Amino acid sequence: MEKKNIFMRIQEMESQLGHMNSELGELKQIVKELLEDNHRLSLENEQLRKVLKREVQPADHKPSTSRKQPSPIPMQGSGEDLVGEGYDNLARLYHEGFHICNVYYGHLRTEGDCLFCLSFLNK
């Protein structure tokens, strides 16, 4: 009789461990999502601070007599600069730990390098 009781307790412990394992997986996913949101919000906060700094800085140094000149229209050759800037932004995002591929774009890279992202960067 005691052997059956021990076997039942082992099965009960096994099911409890399975339940704990699934709860741990759910918590791990929640932490991953929170880290992604935190990183995204930090980047957004940094960008907003830069914009605010740019807006506040001209207000402090307003010339009273001169008017703001319209910016010149970009020439055809400057299109390559925009492509380079976009590539640099994607490379920066990738090196900060985010996917840039069309499969997992914007998700946090948790398992090292992504072949899709690397092939996209090498194009």
Nearest to 108 by CA among 54, 43, 12: 43
DSSP state of 112: S
Does 99 count as an annotated binding residue?
Answer: yes
Q: How many CA within 13 A on the CB side of residue 115?
A: 0
Does 19 count as an annotated binding residue?
Answer: no
Place of tokens 């992504």: 114
Q: How many whole angstroms separate alpha carbon 97 and alpha carbon 46? A: 17
Phi first, then psi: give them for residue 108, nearest 5 degrees. -70, 135
Does 117 count as an annotated binding residue?
Answer: yes
Q: Which residues are annotated as a binding site?
A: 99, 101, 114, 117
Q: Which residues are annotated as a binding site for Zn(2+)?
A: 99, 101, 114, 117
